Structure 1
Amino acid sequence: MKYIMVAIWSAIFGEILGYIVSQLNSGTYNFIAVAVIAVVVGEVALIAIPAISGSAAPKEVATEE
């Protein structure tokens, strides 16, 4: 379910960002290309960020008293 929600929100925020950037640069706005790129980046971030953060977390060492 989280992958679907990330795809939806990535597409929404990507469309907003893509529209603003295309208007500021006087470029053409391609709805499909922006949505696909935003969803791919969002899904990669969903998978990569926890993997990177998990490997950087300090290992807990059990100490005996």
Structure 2
Amino acid sequence: MRLTHFRQLMDEEFGGVRAASISRDHVFGGLGGRTVEQALEDGDEPRDVWRVVCAEFEVPTERR
């Protein structure tokens, strides 16, 4: 998954403003206590980050 696709999925699922807030502010245990932005900056694959976001926010399987 490319980063642009990841951003699109975040916006579609949460809306642009909330997606940005989640990415910057929400600390995920599944990302080692980092935010989405920190994980991506550290080189984590967007696909893996998306899976953690989906699990944390209980995104339905058909939208994962």
**Considering the TM-score relative to the shorter chain, is it more than 0.5?**
no
What is the TM-score with the length of structure 1 in the denominator?
A: 0.31
> Relative contact order: is structure 1 or structure 2 higher (C-alpha 8 Å, sep ≥ 6)?
1
